[in-house]
A and B are shown apart, each in its own frame.
Chain A
Amino acid sequence: MNFWTDPLKVAAEWLEGILTGWGMDAIFAHVLVVFLGVLLLITILMVLDIFLVWIERKVVSRFQDRIGPNRVGPYGLIQPFADIIKLIIKEDTTPDGADKVVYNLAPILSMMSVLIVWAVVPIAPVILGTDLNVGVLFLIAAGAIGTLSIIMAGWSSNNKFALIGGFRQVAMMVAFEIPMLTMLLIPTIFAGSMNMNAIIQAQGSIWYFFLSPLGTLIFLIAVIAELGRAPFDLAEGESELVAGYNTEYSGMKFGMFYAGELLHAMTFGGIWGILFFGGYRFFGLEQVSPFLAVLIFLAKALIGYWVIMWVKYTMMRIRIDQMLAFNWMFLTPLSFVLLMVTALANALLAGTSIWVYGIGMFASNIILGWVALEIVRSYSRKEREKLEGPRKVAEAHH
């Protein structure tokens, strides 16, 4: 064991050796070293978060046929630092009648709910916060704190728009948590564990994307809704609700919501990669060095983040009734049927070769997705005919 194969452990043991050498209690030294490790990880995440601002702005401008920030530093790379200085020196206003304690607590909880997700994210085989055996459910628990922070922000601002936006957002988040939870069950079934690292290890022969393409897609939709990004950004529809729950926030408190949202998107891009695309695995490259594994994971997380941005800047916003109908009448039943089909196919195909198993799983997903789309198509055709009358024959001949 040396620094290049297990950097965290070597560094931790070296530090603990120094600390106990000074006469510190062994347990206390261990906790202190872990604290420093957590501080290091979160600091790195916050620095990454600063660059996510630049990435997001650069990508959106490309989607919209603009150039984006390009004045401050090479390629506008220094721009996010200028943004941060601006946020820090802005006046921090508190609206009249706001509930001060709750108002100030909300942005802190919002950021914290994103940062604690990283406690269970395996960045490399040996670089991970903690190996909780309930890792998958921990994601949902962390999300619960985020939901709470939005309710707190919306309610404490003493603003109608913030209140309505907050409640819309929460109604959407709880609605899409059902498909998300159900899709989390699918990697759990395949891996036989809720531990994130075990789920990655179990994807050695085949990524779960190939076993459950439909599940991958539903999880992505649920993640986008959970993030409140377009097409599900009706909670901060700027043309009707100013900015939703964070309308009254300014300065660094707004910055926390903003940075939290970007980091949340990147984090869930990474989790999408972990659950369905093998996390830090890439054709055995992760065995070479843990540092290479970190790079692979980061690349997958950024690709996931890019897909989320791609959806955001391509789709238009949907209405709340459409969003709820889409979730409760389409996505939720579909995800439950998919779960049952997956469990059944998993039992029936157990013991067969990886090719038969993989093709069977893939085919069952594709067939299910096709059937679901056909049902929705015939339903929407019926609805359209109800509104517009049957399609004219003459038009059909054109």
Chain B
Amino acid sequence: MAGQTSTASANLKKKRLRSQILVIAAIVLVFIVCHFITGGRLLRTNNIKAILTQVTYPLMVGLGMMFIFSTGMIDLSVGAQVILAGNVGAIAVEILGLGYPGLIIGTIVVMIICELLCTSCSLFIGIPSWVAGLGCALVFEALGMILVDSQAEALGTAIVYMKKCNALGQFPVIFIIAVIVFIASYFIFNYTKFGFNLRAIGGGGEVAEAMGINRKKTILLAAVIGAVVIAIGGITQLSYTGRFTPTSGMGSLSGIFKSLAVVLISGSFSRIFNDAVGCLVGSFIVAGLFNVLTLVGVPSGTGQDICLGLVVMLCGILASLRYKGVMK
């Protein structure tokens, strides 16, 4: 029995490894094919730099969402939170003159507060997390508008534009930060007690609680860690673009659309890659796809979104192929 068990286990690992290699090889192959389709522009050094830069924001926000969503909390107010927190960071730099410390601390603290508020609405009041998320999104969007309107006036502009503290958004710094965030997230998620606890809460809350895991504490901690990761993504994005434009009427959702796609792709590949690696693979797929579509002239917002939707579904189909289900 023990021999059979280790063989079964080893076979499963081999199959998983084979699938991983296959998926990565397929992505590389698609990139090479697309290189020729785009007339040799895709894999040019400058374009590779652009892709590596474009990977960073969906990846970091996706990783942050992974922490939050893994506990079963579907928080769709993340986009509104980043806009609000980012603008607080930008105001700290441009109006208060607090430089990098102001940018980093302001953005992270506001992001943590917003995420904890939203999570608490669901956790302590009992509102379904997606309802709490949508409600909070409207509130955070409105707060972002009010804040920016009041502060931009002082700058004489329509929005708060961050002209200083742009080093964090430059290549390769932005990419190095994303790599560090990915490695840290990967280890927290897969090799720490907290990581296992939060996955246990998401996978079977009653079992986890019965095993002595403090559900509320774990979910709140996941919210904090997720918020920090998303905030780092927000800071680098703000340094890169110089602004977060406030929106209303759930417009903030479009700002995290690519990150949501990354999380969806990661979920599709959950039998092949663990969630963190799935986010990495997903962010390369998303960034690569948008880059290629832009290079071949597919209109953004419509054609590009259709392609992204199809790719997300295709990933799900490919990952489910030949799934055997229960192991004997």
- Tell me, yes or no, whether A binds B: no
List chain A positions with a Cβ less than 8 A from chain B: none
